[in-house]
Amino acid sequence: MAKYNICVVCGSGMATSVLISQQLKDLLKQRNIDANITTTKVSDLGAVSHYNVIVTSTLLPNNLDVPVIRTMSFLTGLGMDKDVDKIVNILQGNK
């Protein structure tokens, strides 16, 4: 089974990215997806080339070489399955 690298980014603090990453890890585990999930804030993002996907609750630059999923679903509870489907499709190469 492949192991994927995901970065969860929030605007300025870390609480949002930690919350999203915990929910995402559980939802991916239910789908038998093994992933390393890193949490950070926008100002600390740095190099992204080693990530398979970035999940964010805030705006990020458009010039990243990694697919970005911007979502509030992990905070609201609405549409999480749809967003997890998008993430899984990216991880499995079905962009």
| CATH number where 84 lies | 3.40.50.2300
Strand order in the sheet with 53-56: 34-41, 3-10, 53-56, 68-70
What range does the domain containing 77 cover?
3-91
Provide the pLDDT confidence category of residue 46 given band limits of 50, 70 and 90. confident
Number of domains in the chain: 1
- pTM summary value: 0.92
pLDDT at residue 1 tops 60: no
Mean pLDDT of the 82-87 span: 96
